[in-house]
């Protein structure tokens, strides 16, 4: 049975500004405390190389395939741990416009496979903490961008 972890926050920036920060992979080391590196072409079917670090310092490397790239709205990739039967994951980011300069950012992942029951507690604690940290960092960076572009006031 698949399990999902989802977090969300509101960002005082347009979906376009949030998208620009989220998809500017070379700058992840500057601001992203969770996904420390992301490399790959931003198109459906492209392979991504990813490096993650959780709040407690657990580091992981992974590769994933982009399955959804909808500019200013959704980015989604799939991957697995060892083999899909053991643990498969679908990671997603959704930018829902609330107003021209306000976005609900939804960040989550669904997990399936035989290892999910073994790792679900760690996933709930470590991964949710990492999502929250990333969401706050993304919020700060996108809001700073919106201020610099004069679209919102600080």
37 within domain boundaries: yes
CA-CA distance, 136 to 34, in Å (whole number)? 11
In a domain, residue 154? The reply is no
* pLDDT at residue 83, as a whole number: 56
Q: Residue 24 domain-assigned? A: yes
Residue 124 belongs to a domain = yes
Question: What is the tens place of the pLDDT at every residue in 55-110?
Answer: 888 888 889 999 999 999 999 999 876 555 677 889 999 999 999 999 999 999 98
Confidence of residue 4 (pLDDT cuts 50, 70, 90): confident
- pLDDT for 37-50, tens place per residue? 999 999 999 999 99
CATH code for the domain in which residue 47 is found: 3.30.530.20
Number of other CB atoms surrounding residue 137 within 10 Å: 17
Give how many domains the chain has, as a whole number: 1
E-assigned strand segments in the chain: 3-11, 35-39, 47-53, 59-70, 74-81, 87-99, 102-112
- Domain range for 81: 3-148
Any domain includes 49 = yes
Whether 47 maps to a domain, the answer reads yes
Q: Is 54 helix (H, G, I), strand (E, B) or coil?
A: coil
Answer whether residue 57 is part of any domain.
yes
Quick: pLDDT tens for 126-138. Answer: 788 899 999 999 9
Is position 55 within any domain? yes
């Amino acid at each position: 049975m698949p399990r999902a972890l989802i977090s969300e926050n509101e960002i005082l920036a347009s979906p376009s500004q949030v998208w620009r920060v989220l998809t500017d992979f070379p700058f992840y080391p500057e601001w992203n405390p969770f996904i420390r590196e992301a490399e790959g072409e931003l198109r459906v079917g492209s392979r991504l190389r990813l490096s993650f670090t959780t709040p407690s310092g657990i580091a992981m490397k992974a590769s994933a395939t982009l399955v959804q790239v909808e500019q200013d709205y959704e980015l989604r990739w799939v991957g697995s741990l060892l083999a899909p039967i053991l643990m498969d994951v679908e990671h997603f980011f959704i930018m829902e416009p609330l107003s021209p300069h306000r976005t609900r950012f939804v960040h989550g992942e669904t997990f399936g496979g035989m290892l999910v029951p073994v790792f679900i507690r760690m996933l709930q604690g470590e991964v949710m903490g990492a999502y929250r940290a990333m969401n706050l960092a993304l919020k700060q960076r996108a809001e700073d961008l919106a201020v610099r572009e004069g679209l919102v006031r600080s």
